Structure 1
Amino acid sequence: MTIDRYELVGIFGSAVDAGVASLFVGAGLSAAAGLPTWSDLLGPLAAEIGVAGEFADLPLLAEYYEQNGPGRRPALENHLRNELSAYRTPAESHHLIAKLPIDEIWTTNFDPLLETAAADASVAAQDNDALDIGTGRRTIIKMHGSLSRYTPTTWTAAPVITRSDFEQYEDTHPRMWALLRASYLTRTMLFLGFSFADPNIEVLLRLARRYDTTAADRHLTVLRRPADPEGVQLHELRVRDLENSGVHVCEISDFSELTPMLQAITTRTRPERLFVSGSGDKALLKPWYDKLAVALTARPPSWQLASLGGPAGWGVTSRLAELLRANGRYRPDRFRIYFRKNSAAQAPLMDAHVGTAIFTDLEREELVGSVLDDCRALLVICGGSGTSDEVRWALERGVSVIPLASSGATARSVWDSSNIPPDLGGRPCDPQVWHNLADPDPDVAVMAAMTAIDQAMCRPRG
């Protein structure tokens, strides 16, 4: 049975938490950056060797092209380089992958878009490069060849493209294959951007059949379901083959669905951190943050609060810290209070030594954006125009926004603007929970807010 995207996000997120996750990227991910499909890339070669019509086995087509006369291998590599050299701007999906806290990113893609987006990562493209992997630095492993990031475009590692290249891979790249096999047997691998029309799907099929992992049931792939009804039966047989070998399959109708899925994965793999935003009269806010602080004492000690020290953020932070101190569970690293460049504009005056103060030279938008990039959720209590900005910046980054609507002001307007309950933590929020955020009874509203926060923070249910 296939899994849905919510299950995939949860399984892979748990693997990231455990430090055993790897990603394997196929050509479908680069399609969003405008790169040609495999058939568009290799199809024109058929006419050059006098083959009419579509040629389903593209590596075999490349093989025949290479065998068609002297100098054909350089011509094949030049064709690939010329067709791909214009594509140098990563898509949003590449930037999302760059944010994932994983140390192994495998790809069969020739293009340099992943390493352009993740400039801090090392690149392993030659077989001997496998010897340096595992030293603690994140690595992009280009197992089928690589084009350079800079002009003029050159091959930094020769492409694996013909049928012979695929069949001889274990002999020509023994270290790379051994490393891939080890990762497959010991990690949770997520295969993204593949379809059964992709010649590189053979890598996944070969691993699944040769290294059956049904006992661990650990691997994941996202596959595009064919639109053509005639292809559905064969697709379903192939899917069943993968699932019987311990690979969970999540089906999509188009590769454009990969970006929101990656956004959900990226958010899920951020630190367990809640950003508290809002402003208003202290006396009016106090009942809200008192109740929220009491509820938060029951949440895991790994959870952290972040804020700019505004009225709502400081109110929840200081009250929760007070309660945790009373039972000996206070830790300053659970509370992060950020001060921006123009500290004189920051309010209110803090009346206790709580948490960890972080001083920056950043202006407000840049600071808030950098903080939100490491948060899973944003809680909105009352608030004004500054809070509205923070909500907008959070939504742009895929951060779940929970407006405590019954506190009024910005929180209420954010809640009113949602025609349907949004996704929180990769799953739709329960309509009743969303409705209760606006309940006039503070106890009911805070209970709903905590349920929504639990979901956004990916806290296990039950």
Structure 2
Amino acid sequence: MTKPQINFINDFLKHLSNGDAAIFAGAGLSVGAGYVDWRNLLKDIAKEVDLEVDRETDLISLAQFHVNERGGRGGLNQKIIEEFTEKAEITENHKVLSRLPIRTFWTTNYDSLLEDSLSWAQKRVDVKHTVSQLANNLYKREAVVYKMHGDAKHPQQAILTKDDYEQYHRKNEGFVTALSSDLISKTFLFVGFSFTDPNLDYVLSRVKLFLDNNSRPHYCIIRNVQRNSYSDDADFDYDKRRQSLMISDLRRFQIQAVLVDDYTEITAILLEIEKRFKRNTVFISGSAFTYSPYTEFESLEFIHNLTKEIIKNRYSVVNGFGLGIGSAVINGALETIYSSPIKFSEEQLILRPFPQKKTGKKELPELWNEYRHKMISFAGIVIFVFGNKQNPANDEIIPADGIIKEFDIAMEQGLLPIPIGATGFNASILWDKILKEFPKYFHENLRELYLSLGDNSKKLDSHIITVIEIINITNDKQ
């Protein structure tokens, strides 16, 4: 990735963690799912008034011409229904955005891909496509989608013609005010947006005047003009120069352009954001009927202190309340959080206790599998400790198969595994497995640190600093 792309990722991650990141989606985000952009939407409309859409630069006027010639907008409404009401496959970009902890989405698109992807991510989404809906909120909503130009299911209200735009600030003042407020208080990432929309330009100008030059930083992802898209150098040079001027103009509104050469880079950037954000959360996997050769006291102190250090380093912890492990995790996290409630937060501890008795239709193994997938999906790093249980048939101490299942799920979801081999049992088995395929999991500069996690001649607490160092290096905090 380029240095500007990395700088953007680093800054946007801070806003994600702070809960003030927002998305503004343009038509380009939906094109990947098979929907048309504005120009292709109006292609047949242009022909009906004996014009060619490729020769038009003012598409809003083109839509108005059609209304004027036909005496109404029935043809435009039908075109919106035809193009945007059929279901399309959710793209990878939509999926990643829906999984991120973003609550605010704005769009000028008529399609339902944003709300569909958020529902796919099992989030309660509140959709607002008219000003009248702004006053009432969905109970316990987890995300809100503001469709400031309307919805394909209500094409008669869609903003498309010159008349619509001229009256927008009077008829839709609520959207203008709400977007202005979000632009003041949140950091936006504009995706698939061309910045030719008069309504957004008006709102950005309004915010700029209100805050002078003290607006929050925002970002947009823009594809570089590509030479292979042109037949001659003159046209390429002209559009290259025009893009450069547009990018400079966006800086007036504190919008920084993040340039890519190919649209696939957008997916790569979003996936990197997701991966790095999730690596701020650590899943502690383990169970222990016995702590041999260590004492119960020193083992529980180790887990307690390990969790404390994870919290102190501003990471979050996920735990399923594993046998002989869960209480120490909870106590360590809460002790740190309550010792400095202004500095740390209870949100840094995510608990998902496993049900122990069947009370519904699902069998416990099926329910546990679902729990594990959901629980592990919160994290980007997993620590394995101990991993044993007692066989109820003969009281023999055996490896806990749940730890291996959690390892498999974690690898499927792309987590970084850190087994503390010195604790023995399945943690040791996993430590050996990873060591044999070390480059698959870690960069070579972490080998020495990783090796020390398998040394059971050290005191247990001495491994804590090693684990934290691995996590910090992985997250570029050292």
Tell me the TM-score normalised to structure 2 length: 0.71
Cα displacement (A) at 1:417: 4.4
Q: Counterpart of 1:451 in structure 2: which amino acid?
A: E
Q: Which structure 1 residue ranges, 5 or more long, are not aligned?
A: 149-153, 345-359, 423-429
CA distance in 1, matches of 2:332, 2:111: 53
> What count of residue pairs does the alignment treat as equivalent?
425
The 5 Å alignment of 1:65-76 reads 65-71=66-72, 73-76=73-76
In structure 2, the residue matched to 1:22 is 22
Cα displacement (A) at 1:206: 4.4
Cα displacement (A) at 1:223: 2.1
In structure 1, the residue matched to 2:243 is 235
Cα displacement (A) at 1:25: 1.6
Q: Counterpart of 1:11 in structure 2: which amino acid?
A: D
Establish whether residue 454 from structure 1 lines up as the match of residue 472 from structure 2: yes
Cα displacement (A) at 1:450: 1.8
Q: Counterpart of 2:172 in structure 1: which amino acid?
A: H
Change (3 A) 1:271 1:361: farther
CA distance in 1, matches of 2:453, 2:279: 32
Q: Counterpart of 1:394 in structure 2: which amino acid?
A: A
The 5 Å alignment of 1:321-336 reads 321=331
CA distance in 2, matches of 1:304, 1:129: 36
1:252 to 236, 240, 260: 260
In structure 1, the residue matched to 2:406 is 390
In structure 2, the residue matched to 1:60 is 61
Q: Which structure 2 residue ranges, 5 or more long, are not aligned?
A: 228-235, 359-363, 388-398
Q: Counterpart of 1:453 in structure 2: which amino acid?
A: I
Q: Match of 1:211, SS?
A: helix
CA distance in 2, matches of 1:285, 1:205: 65
Of 107-116 and 314-323, deviating more is: 314-323
CA distance in 2, matches of 1:83, 1:261: 29
2:433 to 410, 413, 419: 413
2:309 to 294, 298, 301: 298
Q: Is the contact made by 1:421 and 1:431 (CA closer than 8 Å) also made in structure 2?
A: no
Change (3 A) 1:452 1:7: farther
Cα displacement (A) at 1:75: 0.3
Greater RCO, 1 or 2 (C-alpha within 8 Å, sep 6+) = 1
CA distance in 2, matches of 1:323, 1:76: 58
For the pair shown, the structure with the greater C-alpha radius of gyration is: 2
Q: Match of 1:118, SS?
A: helix
Of 214-223 and 400-409, deviating more is: 400-409
Q: Counterpart of 2:168 in structure 1: which amino acid?
A: Y
Q: Deviations over 1:261-286 (max 9, x none)?
A: 44444566669642123579843788
Change (3 A) 1:374 1:54: same
In structure 1, the residue matched to 2:207 is 211
CA distance in 2, matches of 1:243, 1:323: 43
In structure 1, the residue matched to 2:34 is 34
In structure 2, the residue matched to 1:169 is 168
Fraction of identical pairs, as percent: 20
Q: Is the contact made by 1:308 and 1:338 (CA closer than 8 Å) also made in structure 2?
A: yes
CA distance in 2, matches of 1:37, 1:58: 11
Establish whether residue 224 from structure 1 lines up as the match of residue 233 from structure 2: no
In structure 2, the residue matched to 1:124 is 128
Q: Is the contact made by 2:434 and 2:441 (CA closer than 8 Å) also made in structure 1?
A: no
Establish whether residue 145 from structure 1 lines up as the match of residue 158 from structure 2: no
In structure 2, the residue matched to 1:369 is 373
CA distance in 2, matches of 1:113, 1:104: 15
Change (3 A) 1:142 1:335: closer
Of 25-34 and 447-456, deviating more is: 447-456
CA distance in 2, matches of 1:294, 1:372: 22
CA distance in 1, matches of 2:420, 2:134: 51
Q: Deviations over 1:186-241 (max 9, x none)?
A: 222222222x3x744x5555444443364344222222222235333322222222
In structure 1, the residue matched to 2:450 is 437
Change (3 A) 1:186 1:135: farther
CA distance in 2, matches of 1:17, 1:44: 45
Establish whether residue 178 from structure 1 lines up as the match of residue 177 from structure 2: yes
